[in-house]
Amino acid sequence: MRIAFYAPLKPPRHEIPSGDRLMAQLLMRALATAGHEVEVASEFRSYDRTPDGTAQEDIRARAEVIADELVATYQDAGPQARPDAWFTYHVYYRAPDFLGPRISNRLGIPYLIAEPSFAPKRATGPWRLGHEAAGAAIATADAVFCLTRHDLACVQPLVTTPERLHLLPPFLDAEPFAAALRHRDPARRALAHELGLSPGHPWLLAVAMVRPGDKLASYRALAAALELLPDLKWQLVIVGEGEAREAVEVAFAALPAERVHFAGARAAEALAQIYAACDLYVWPAVNEAYGMAFLEAQAAGLPVVACGVRGVPDVVRDGETGLLAPAGDAAAFAALIRRLLGASAARRHMGERASRFVAGSRTLGDAARALDRVLREVAGSTHRRAS
């Protein structure tokens, strides 16, 4: 099938890396792995950072023009070049999909959404227009893929036909991380040399963009928890860069300088090696949707300490591949880190289970099979009349 792919929040080729961009890229790869032709239909962003009703009206108006232009282009191209389905990734009140429903209806093709979220509390607020558009898109989609049970519960009331709703757990290309794990010792020596880490101490790792908002709040929560562990031997490696770098440095200023090491931004291959070199992944996950870095860490054999918020329990198996603390409880978070730092054998076994968990159920191939099955079902049962 020919798939028109669209990400209204952040296009797959956006210049700024993030978990959202990565998942968009992974979905395209999974669809291609299943044998489908995938093409980015548009890089138009409907994302509205601030609650401005006038801006949302303008975004919708521009989107309708773009949608009509795309329809004309597809119709002129002839049936052999038109998409067989429209696939939109990540729809919510700040980034509604104004293109997919309009184009799918005009062309008479199936409309699919992955990672929608729906927040009824936005119905009467300043994001009302985006909220209504997101809800309408979800309600009319021929197939809806939720990545977490948290989102599924929120979206379920909008999907009147149960067979249209599917749980597609977050996934990744596990092989680079598995390969890095197979070469853990040289990766550990290289990182120790580069950052001046002590090979005899456990290394904690946090990988996240360094930006204001929830990421900065997570860094501050992590610093607060680590301040409760002055008696233990550990060193923290932080991978990430961004506009809040100074604020993050301030958050960790109370800790001895030899404890905290900033590694900056890293390319994907180098990042996999850093994961494999470390001993424990730690991240409070303030308001995190699910956290791609948790999957990456586990794929590289790292157990995780996080907070059990939103979709995090869907990617970290509490007590098996990691430990989850209550949200906002620095003492509980610190206690879980203490527990694993004091039990090297248990930490190692948990890391082994983590890598097996990802390799066994959260791979590109797993997602490709799930997506392909639903796509073929939808293609055989959807009867949209082109308008």
Q: How distant, in Å, are the alpha carbons of 68, 70, 151 from that of 112?
A: 19, 17, 16
What tens digit of pLDDT does each residue of 32-81 get?
A: 999 999 999 999 999 988 776 688 899 999 999 999 999 999 999 888 88
Instruction: Map tokens 């948290």 to a residue.
Output: 150
Are the CB atoms for 315 and 169 separated by under 8 Å?
Answer: yes
pLDDT band with cut points at 50, 70 and 90 for residue 105: very high
Look at residue 24 in the predicted model and tell me its pLDDT: 97
**Domains defined along the chain, listed by start:** 2-171+363-381 (3.40.50.2000), 175-361 (3.40.50.2000)
Q: Residue 164 carries which DSSP code?
A: G
Are the CB atoms for 140 and 91 separated by under 8 Å?
Answer: no
Are the CB atoms for 239 and 274 separated by under 8 Å?
Answer: yes
For 44, how many CA atoms within 13 A lie in the half-sphere containing its CB?
Answer: 21
E strands in 56-186: 85-91, 111-116, 143-146, 165-167
The C-alpha atoms of residue 367 and residue 169 are separated, in whole angstroms, by 8
Look at residue 269 in the predicted model and tell me its pLDDT: 87
User: If 0-12 CB within 10 Å is exposed, 13-18 middle and 19+ buried, where does residue 191 land?
Assistant: buried
**Cα diameter, the chain:** 70
pLDDT band with cut points at 50, 70 and 90 for residue 277: very high
What tens digit of pLDDT does each residue of 190-217 get?
A: 999 999 999 999 999 999 999 999 999 9
Average pLDDT over residues 236-253: 97
pLDDT band with cut points at 50, 70 and 90 for residue 385: low
- C-alpha triplet 183, 299, 27: angle, nearest 5°: 125
Look at residue 55 in the predicted model and tell me its pLDDT: 86
3-state secondary structure of 333: helix
Structure token digits, residue 97: 């999909």
Are the CB atoms for 67 and 34 separated by under 8 Å?
Answer: no
Average pLDDT over residues 361-371: 97
pLDDT band with cut points at 50, 70 and 90 for residue 382: low
**pLDDT higher than 80, residue 384:** no
**Cβ density class 134-160: b for 16+ within 10 Å, e for less:** bbebbbbbbbbbbbbebbbebbeebbe
Alpha helices in 252-325 (DSSP H): 268-277, 292-299
The C-alpha atoms of residue 316 and residue 302 are separated, in whole angstroms, by 11
Look at residue 31 in the predicted model and tell me its pLDDT: 98
User: If 0-12 CB within 10 Å is exposed, 13-18 middle and 19+ buried, where does residue 32 land?
Assistant: middle
Phi, psi of 40 (to 5 degrees): -65, 120
Are the CB atoms for 315 and 303 separated by under 8 Å?
Answer: no
Look at residue 326 in the predicted model and tell me its pLDDT: 97
Q: How distant, in Å, are the alpha carbons of 225, 252, 334 from that of 208?
A: 17, 15, 19
Are the CB atoms for 197 and 306 separated by under 8 Å?
Answer: no
